[in-house]
Copies of this chain bind each other. A is one copy, B any other.
Amino acid sequence: MSHTHESTITHLTETEIEQRLKQHGYRLTGPRGAVVEAVLGHTRPFTAEQLVAELADGPEAIGRATVYRTLEVLASVDVLTRIVSPDGHPSYLSGAPGHRHHLLCELCGTTVTFTACPMTDLIAELASDTHFEIRDHTLEVFGICPACQQAGRV
């Protein structure tokens, strides 16, 4: 496998995440813990509404607003990445802090994360050509994973 990508994700434990929240001045509450636990239960991208549904069933009955707020907090503390797909629907991916890009299977959600940003050269070139001050970029790749190809799900 080349240097431009990797699928290993930093697997944070619940307590590590809660440490990190505390370090950023956030309190350690019951509902927050429940959301973190639910988030860790996902290895594939999930939507906010999915999490809302899961947690509405659970024993603690976490409210809608809390789920959305907590996702925002977790993203701001870099234990969660928010990916907006081309159709405009955002989903979340746990355990991926920092600047990353992804290759996602359109059928099963399997995700390959790549850490090396292939955009650095292009960005430098664009900046010097257009005199824009470049601040941000989006780059996500979509396709069908080997397993889904095999299964004839293609």
Residues of chain A having any CB pair with chain B under 8 Å: 1-2, 4-5, 84-90, 103, 105-106, 112, 114, 118-119, 122-123, 125-127, 129-146, 149, 154
Contact A88 B86 (CB under 8 A): no
| A1 contact from B85, B114, B129, B142, Cβ within 8 A | B129
The answer to whether B143 and A134 have CB atoms under 8 Å apart is yes
Query: Chain B residues near A86 (CB, 8 Å)?
Result: 84, 136, 138
Count chain B CB atoms within 10 A of each CB in A105, A133, A140 and give the residue with the most.
A133
Q: What residues of chain B lie closer than 8 Å to A105, measured between beta carbons?
A: 132
Taking CB atoms, residues of chain B closer than 8 Å to A138 are 85-86, 138-140
